[in-house]
Amino acid sequence: MKALTYEKFGGPDVLAVKDVPEPHIGPDTVVIKVEAAALNPVDYKIREGHVRRVIDTILPAIPGWDVAGVVVKAGLDTPEFEVGDEILAYARKDVVSSGTLAEFASVPVRTAAKKPAGLSFEQAAALPLAGLTALQSVRRAGVSSGARVLVHGAAGGVGSFATQLALLEGAATVVGTASERNHEYLRTLGAVPVQYGDGLVERARAVVPEGFDVILDFAGGSSLDTVPELLRDGGVVASVADRRARDEFGGQYIWVRPDPAQLAELADLVASGRLKVEIAGVYSLEDAAAAYRELEGGHVRGKLIVRP
């Protein structure tokens, strides 16, 4: 089969499409024909060697954790699925080696859910990592009816899901930080957009003078510097990018985990039209390195998809 691979750590130039053996099927895995896979920033951070303290990489490696496809082989202990099922998965494994940017991929059943008929393969592939990160952040931070929520990085892949999910959980107001060019997009999601950077405190306070019940950080950098001025007493901060959320502010520092029930919930929300998926572009496997270059430029709104 053809797969996107890299044999050493580095930038997009180390990526190449090569013929590799089809993936092994274990007792609690299925092998799928990949219909679509999505790119995530963690993919290139792993490829550059920055995540080796967290997860091992065995070279040569195939990148990718997000995937949607059709089951072609089922392991010995996989009663959840059978050949022919259409599934989506956050197919993260304990070691980075055989990922999803390939014609076929092995998927642990603990990471997968059945794809609803009303969901395209592109939409399904865009959901897992970003959608689960958003949902777990919203719920662990305790967003509930009437909450006033600030979302840093609201126009990104995770932030746009979190903005919508916070409103679905009953938030009264969601304020989202973003560049000016993404403000109208945030309005379509139901958020009140504000420009990040100098003057953020004043702009956010103009919308929610009493302070926020929840601050969700999907941007990192200096995003949490304003927590003391914007989080109300008793409020909660959660971040996927800055340990200060937990260590300084007593909140949540989140590393997303696979959850098939939550993934199925997200898929049903999209299929029913209650949750929007923004697709920024669709690439072939041969052009996947160019897709990563676009992602690494830092200005992608929504998800980039690869179809083998």
Q: Are residues 146 and 245 located together in one domain of the fold? A: yes
Asked if the structure places residue 244 within a domain, the reply is yes
The per-residue pLDDT for 87 is 98
pLDDT of residue 217: 96
| pLDDT at residue number 139 | 97
Segment 246-262, tens digit of pLDDT: 999 999 999 999 999 99
Answer yes or no: do 222 and 284 share one domain: no
Cα–Cα distances in Å, from 16 out to 11, 49, 52?
A: 12, 17, 21
CATH number reported for the structural domain that contains residue 50 in this entry: 3.90.180.10
| pLDDT for res 137 | 97
Q: Where are the alpha helices (DSSP H) in the chain?
A: 41-47, 121-126, 128-140, 157-168, 183-189, 200-207, 227-230, 244-247, 260-271, 288-296
Q: What is the pLDDT of residue 52?
A: 86
Task: Extract the residue ranges of the chain whose pLDDT is less than 50.
Answer: none
Total structural domains in the chain? Answer: 2
Same domain for 151 and 78 = no
Distance CA 221, CA 226 (A): 11
pTM of the model: 0.95
Question: Does 228 reside within a domain?
Answer: yes
β 231-239/212-217 pair status: parallel
272 in a structural domain: no
Which of 157, 128, 124, 97 has its CA nearest to residue 35? Answer: 124
Asked whether residue 264 is domain-assigned, the answer is: no
Q: Compute φ and ψ for 162, nearest 5 degrees.
A: -65, -40
Domain contains 260: no
179 and 121 together in one domain: no
pLDDT of residue 151: 98
Same domain, 104 and 55: yes
**Residue 121 sits in the same domain as residue 139:** no
Q: What is the pLDDT of residues 143-197, one digit of tens each?
A: 999 999 999 999 988 999 999 999 999 999 999 999 999 999 999 999 999 999 8
Tell me whether residue 174 is in a domain: yes
Q: Which residue range is the domain that position 194 belongs to?
A: 134-253
Name the pairing type of β-strands 104-108 and 112-114. Answer: unpaired
Q: Which two tokens stand for residue 270?
A: 């999209």
Q: Supply the pLDDT for residue 53.
A: 85
Task: List, in sequence order, every residue forming a beta bridge with 212; answer none if it has no partner.
Answer: 231
Phi and psi (nearest 5°) for 129? -65, -50
